[in-house]
Structure 1
Amino acid sequence: MSGHKTKALDGPFLLAFGTGSTWRKENQGALNNNLIEIVKDALQSGYRHLDTAELYNTENEVGEAIKRSGISPSDLYIIAKAFTTSNIRAAFDRTLRNLGVDYVDLYVLHHPYFAKSEEQLQAAWVEIEDIFDSGKVGSIGVSNFTKAHVETILKTARIKPAANQIELNPYLQRVELQQYHKDHGIQTFAFSPLSPIVRAKPGPLDDVLETIAQKHGVSTAVVLIRWALQQGIAVVTTSTQNERMKDHLLAQKVSLTEEEIALISEVGSEKHFRGRWNDIFAAEDRS
């Protein structure tokens, strides 16, 4: 265990720049120089947390962006995710090579839906635990897990997941799952935090977000990100535009009132929107 250099997930590390589905490449062919420059811009704008995944085939670009930025990986919080489940250790070693690092801060099992039985899911978690034992990761976690999936791995786990990265925003608050995370010391990560203004308009929050944004002199995107951060939720966001990258970082500086947080939650609960895994969840399932 002496190899672990676990960083506290706070301060600038709570807001991650994602290299997810927006960037996905179909193969590991030639480097995408545009993506490299975008990630480098994000780092030079002030992001110190990068979220990547085997599935997106962009690990090489992320690694090259880190090199070009001149920022040491030790000064970053790096999340990587395993999509391969047949030999997770081989996938992890490949991820390290692709990123050009010898350590990541959080290694995550990307989703639970490959598993045809509880035993299969538990076996995959054992492989993740073995990677933790190698000392090459700071912590281990899961993504897209429901409460039932987390409960399944906790039945046999030696090491509980440190985090669960899930789709979460005011139109998909997943209150019960969030509380379960708190009760078990699991960090909630939110992806698709901007859905109310990007994918789910029009909606009941439109005017509320505009009013709060104008009051604080920020964008509605900043308000949505801050709504999550201020509740202790880590956030993964992204943009191709440098101006928006910098704008999103303002969420680390603004502070909403408790009344504003509560209002966003209350009005947000009037609408349900899920952008991912709609083939898995029933139409009105908010879990």
Structure 2
Amino acid sequence: MEMWLNRSSTDGFILLGIFSHSLTDLGLFSAVTGVFTVALCGNGLLIFLIFTDPRLHTPMYFFLSQLSLMDLMLVCDIVPKMAVNFLSGTKFISFVGCGIQIGLFVSLVGSEGLLLGLMAYDRYVAISHPLHYPSLMNQRVCLQIAGSSWAFGILDGLIQMVAAMSLHYCGSRNVDHFFCEVLSLLKLACIDTSLFEHVLFVCCVLMLLLPFSIIVASYSRILRAVLHMRSAQAQRKVLTTCSSHLTAVSLFYGAAMFIYLRPRRYRAPSHDKVVSIFYTVLTPILNPLIYSLRKREVMGALRKELDRCRIGSQH
């Protein structure tokens, strides 16, 4: 770390970004800023409601609060620096700042992927073993699931951050991205990075395909349970319960697999930047909307807080 701090005074990188100062890009930047603000408010409000309303003190909403916290931290890791660079006209990021951005980004994406996978298991237990659900998904188990998601994500982030920042960079310092993304950074290294790229690929496969396999296994069992239900109403209720999680999984894993599991010859920086905007800025705003608008409990908690604020203002 001392070596990194010494390098930060003279070294750094130039983030080429995705915005110029044209009228069109100014409008796009304003849209991204607006989405960022809504993502902050939406996820912050959801976390507040879940922790203040006793009706939402269930395993599913506890996991959702962790998901919202990850989304909140993710947009704060990426968008503020992008906004500062755009408004100030500079595109510089220090060596230490780049390392921190890589570590936080990889940790949060990895943690969110694992949590989404384990949330599928929670849905399987709730649907297939409803009578044993309170004992199978007790407070200790929920804390272990959330803690393991954070722990493995942070470990992955530390490994990739240390490895990327330990490489020697020379020549061009222009990173063809709007944040310090590992694959874009590797192109600037002076040494052969094929070994590191293979390690990175293995980490991505483990962090994406392992939870994805949990999702596939859980939903295959859920589907089997649904097919054995005699009531069409019960089937619709189960599918409605799972639809929010499946939508969030599709958005997250679709974008992540497109970027990190494609062969190198099919990668294009312009495509990667567009998809990265999707799951670093848009997905954090979509998750609270997907879960909140389709859950009567959340809307009920929101109305309760609004009524409390209105009564308080009258006094």
Question: TM class by shorter-chain length?
Answer: under 0.3
Structure in which a larger fraction of residues adopt strand: 1
Specify which structure has the bigger relative contact order, considering alpha-carbon pairs within 8 angstroms and separated by 6 or more residues. 2
Structure in which a larger fraction of residues adopt helix: 2
* TM-score (normalised: structure 1): 0.27
